[in-house]
Chains A and B, each alone.
Chain A
């Protein structure tokens, strides 16, 4: 109903910052990582996913969205030839997330399949400085009076409050820090897919859920301000548009409305390419548009790679 991110912000007691955090921008701008040469590879990855992957004329979204994601992750993973510590990451598919918290006497819970999760052995260092965190004290959360903030949420009788990172991983798992969540909207029918705004809200909720579960695992169940904020990233796409998000959990004290808030940086609606022409467009016997990828934006791929490298580089 509402612009979903605003509602999600209230539910998770978060302050929104537009654009990506300076740490990630720094990785992008650093020429030492050789991001220019990867442009060609990224373009080829997009062409493969959108044009060449199938024996039919054009692949459908259910096919090309996961293939595009796999190709991009493959390019990112190949960077571990250069940075060996990147190999300390593990992808986990189909893991279930469950996290519970209280928000002004309303008990909220996030549950469900959270897409693809990438875990790493080392946590991401906090992105915001201490001053920024303290500054969030003054920030007032947007309320939606008279609409209750829990609108459109499913009310369920919960008998067990679960708080595991996806309930997924047992003890002693070496890759225990959730690094990035990936969401692929690959339904063929447009109405089955999430709209960008809703996708961003979903990303925020799941990132928050993962961060909260990790924080509770590290520091216990009592609500308090975290000394070491937990950072979880999130990338969502429908095969063409990308949403990037970095979430920093500063506090698990979510009951009250004031005090230190959590922070989220969102970079929304970054398109990787304009159009993918599978068959050349011919008007009146003249080829107006040859087959290929049009309007490729290398910056979007650079952001993807920067978020992947974040925390290790």
Chain B
């Protein structure tokens, strides 16, 4: 018996005093013993939960956001790297399950409501102007004469001059593809040759032109080739091999994204639907993520929106993604995977926007144990130079870990369109088949702003 053995050891050479002092009993309020809690270092479930609680308290008590981020990503373990631009089949379903996102086709209702004023106004001023250049072929020479801003009053419903915007877009396109003499594109780098510079030109000139309408754009910050990273846990698995075999670990994911262009603003975009709305179902996938295929790597756990926490422009507005040559449409058509073309756009939109909005939320101090109190909204445009797809994402919850997801009814929502061409073909200094709707949608994206402004 252990107790008997202990007493035998105690007796030789040890005087055992009884310590009751005559001066009254100890104060009754404080407990005699320290609280009985689970051990910190034992290999037991109670000890593990106590360690987890201590970690959560440490992160909650962190003084600055940088400290919080540092503690959040301190422990490095093998994690799945999620690539937004991927050729994996049906990747968007998998990504929706990893990020608890509901996909709603089409654009959110507020964007649709804003369209009619511009469309109606688009026809009236254009009727007044003499030769409407016919939406298809502005040609570089005609554009300057016709593109005059017709703005009766910058009042409640400012008219959008589609002619001017169209000529700007066509000029950018023609400059990059036709007028500027460039060398031949590098092997498999076609996207850097023409569509990349075209996108940069288009967005920068459009944003500058529309900054008069949208004061949020006037205070914005434009990043070229920024880096966006996010690290999160979702679900649980048992470690398969190694010295940690048999332990239950959260499944870790990391997104490292490089959008082509992004616009960051100092004020947040307004919410599209209330925080607790339920617009659909999140797909549940029973397989391990490595079946996608997704591979594990262990490296730094970064959370980054494009600039550090000290930057005043800490909310995101719009991202622009350019699809690489590997994922071009012709390749999918050749391999008879036409339905996967839209999947590429969707998975890029969902993954990149989730990473961006979640990183923005972390910059504000929210994390999986301290869920967001207001929704974070951002937009993205995914393109391959000719076809444009628009996405709008609302982050309602960051709580995706195994414990926090149990009682969490909230879901993130992503609205997205199919990819539509902006133009048909560029020939001899003319842009044929220019699609105004795509340009209008892009303009609406750029004009999006909080209601107070």
Contact = CB atoms under 8 A, between A and B. Distances in A.
A91 interface: yes
A173 B179 CA distance: 6
A170 B181 CA distance: 7
Nearest to A70: B224
A78 B218 contact: yes
Contacts of B219: 41
B138 to A, nearest CB: 10
Nearest to B143: A174
A111 to B, nearest CB: 14
Interface in A11-62: 41, 44-45, 47-48, 51-55
B175 to A, nearest CB: 6
Contact of B205 (A47, A77, A82): A77
Nearest to B219: A41
A77 B208 contact: yes
A174 B144 contact: yes
A174 B211 contact: no
Nearest to B141: A172
Contact of B224 (A48, A52, A67, A90): A67
Interface string B194-233: 0001000100110111111100011101111011010000
A77 B204 contact: yes
Interface string B217-258: 111011110110100000000000000000000000000000
A88 interface: yes
Contacts of A225: none
A175 B304 CA distance: 38
A245 to B, nearest CB: 24
Given A77-B204, A87-B209, A169-B180, A55 B304 contact: yes
B168 A48 contact: no
Interface stretch (B17-25, B278-286, B306-314, B367-375): B306-314
A168 B212 CA distance: 32
Contacts of B227: 54-55
B224 A94 contact: no
Contact of B144 (A71, A84, A121): A121
Contacts of B65: none
A95 interface: yes
A95 B179 CA distance: 11
Interface centre among A74, A169, A175 (most CB of B within 10 A): A74
Interface string A84-98: 101110111111100
Contacts of A95: 180
A208 B307 CA distance: 39
A78 B211 contact: yes
A106 B207 CA distance: 48
Nearest to A88: B144
Contacts of B308: 51-52, 55
Interface string B156-195: 0000000000001001100100111110000000000000
A93 B212 contact: no
A81 B179 contact: no
Contact of A74 (B172, B182, B213, B221): B221
Contacts of A94: 182
Contacts of B181: 96, 167-170
Contacts of A82: 212
A74 B204 CA distance: 8
A93 B229 contact: no
Contacts of B229: 55
B100 interface: no
Task: Please classify the interface of chain B as helix (H, G, I), strand (E, B), loop, or mixed, using the class held by over half of its residues.
Answer: mixed
A169 B179 contact: yes
A91 B201 contact: yes
Contacts of B211: 78, 80-81
B123 interface: no
A88 B208 CA distance: 11
Given A48-B307, A80-B211, A167-B181, A174 B140 contact: yes
A231 B324 CA distance: 40
B312 A44 contact: yes
B310 A51 contact: yes
Residue of A77, A78, A92, A168 contacting most chain B CB atoms (<10 Å): A78
B108 interface: no
A87 B208 contact: yes
Given A81-B212, A174-B141, A48 B171 contact: no
Contacts of A96: 181
Interface in A75-129: 77-82, 84, 86-88, 90-96, 121
A65 B11 CA distance: 78
Interface string A164-185: 0001111011110000000000
Contacts of A74: 204, 208, 221-222
B312 A172 contact: no
A55 to B, nearest CB: 5
B149 interface: yes
A175 to B, nearest CB: 7
Contacts of B179: 169-170, 172-173
A55 B205 CA distance: 28
Given A78-B217, A170-B178, A170-B179, A52 B310 contact: yes
Contacts of B144: 88, 121, 174
A45 B218 CA distance: 13
Contacts of B218: 78, 81
B299 to A, nearest CB: 12
B209 A84 contact: yes
A162 to B, nearest CB: 12
Max chain A Cβ within 10 angstroms of own Cβ: one of B218, B226, B227, B313: B218
Contact of B209 (A47, A66, A81): A81
A147 B449 CA distance: 64
Given A51-B308, A81-B208, A173 B175 contact: yes
Contacts of B429: 170, 172
B260 interface: no
B302 interface: yes
Given A74-B222, A92-B175, A172-B429, A55 B302 contact: yes
A53 B205 contact: no
A86 B171 CA distance: 15
Which of B175, B207, B218, B302 has the most chain A CB atoms closer than 10 A to its own CB?
A: B175
> 10 shortest A-B CB distances, which residue pairs?
A81-B212, A77-B208, A81-B211, A52-B307, A52-B308, A173-B179, A52-B311, A55-B304, A74-B222, A78-B211
Given A67-B224, A78-B217, A175-B171, 12 more contacts: A41-B219, A53-B223, A77-B204, A78-B218, A81-B208, A81-B209, A84-B212, A90-B201, A90-B205, A91-B204, A172-B179, A174-B144
